[in-house]
Chains A and B, each alone.
Chain A
Amino acid sequence: MAEHATHDQHAEAHESHGTGFYWMVGGVLAVITAIEVAIFLVKDAIGHELFLAILFLLSIAKGVGVVMYFMHLRGDARIFQLVFIVPFTLAVTLCLGFLTIFSHHVGIAG
């Protein structure tokens, strides 16, 4: 138990990055946002499915960047990862479930 506590205390100190690293992450996130907007502007040319797929991938990348590097969840104590990732997974599952249930195609609204 003591060993476990010590591990978490070390983990809580989490990875320490220099300010240059944060500028780099911020730059990457800005570029991703610019690509998202660019894709939105040409969405008619690339098709709806491809537009959605690219947009979701970019948004997930942006979210992961914020959570892992700005919120320092990467390398932080596992208990923090647990109390965030469990409700997040539940939230995504519920969202997809409800969108399916109320979908015009297969759900009760169809």
Chain B
Amino acid sequence: MESQPTLNVVYDSTRRGSVIFEELREIFNYRYLLLQLVRRDILTRYKRSFLGVAWTMLNPLGMMVVWTIAFSQFFKASNLPSYPSYVLSGLLAWNFFSQTTTASMVNLVWGGGLLNRIYMPRTSFAIAAMGTGLVNISLSMVPLIGVMFITGLKLHWSILFTPISVLILVGFALGVGLLISTLAVYFPDIAEMYQIVIMAWMFLTPVMYPETILPAQYRGLITALNPMYHMVKLFRIPIYFGRLPTLAEFLIPLGISVIVLLIGWTVFTKKSDEFAYRI
């Protein structure tokens, strides 16, 4: 039987392995907390609304409709089959990233008072934010497939690759989330600034426009150096384009994701002892 995680154990402040691995072990011990935090986020977000969790699906759908009305004529020349599906698939990946990173930061800065009173693994909030994002993106797949079906886009078996794309996206988002959370603890202004950054970043990423409309001389620069370009693309390929990614299309985002996650995790855990002094 599972027993209390810290029962019959000795905590010695001078004895510790690497904080990086220790945090991993603690997160494993506290996995039920992650589940509860995700549950809290999802339950409370829609608690008072009539349609409830359905909003998870309606939200991106509504956004898609707005974008489509606003821009489909504009991008007609680009010859995108089913512009709504193109926008929606990009939007799902983008929303996942912007919502989870923002939530990681906000939950730590605003909910961090708790970390001052009881011990919880410090990465819990960020990881739980990823969990919430995963629930949302999974539910949003339903309207996406619906829109593809209605607009006459064929579903391909390659869609089964999507979970891998999402996993790579999770790694990247978690890495970024941990990095900006660390920063936000020291500089509260980061939280405000990030909203602007994320907005600019979205316009620099081919989310609602085809990358072909970018001026040729900047296209390489904007795409190759923008990690989210690779992430969004990897998400879109198996769904919207209905094919498996090429090796390069797969390995580049994977590499970025792993590196950013390692950096974020390391920076966060190394600094997290100071958080209780700061928050």
A-B complex is real: no
Instruction: Tell me the A residues contacting B by CB distance below 8 Å.
Output: none
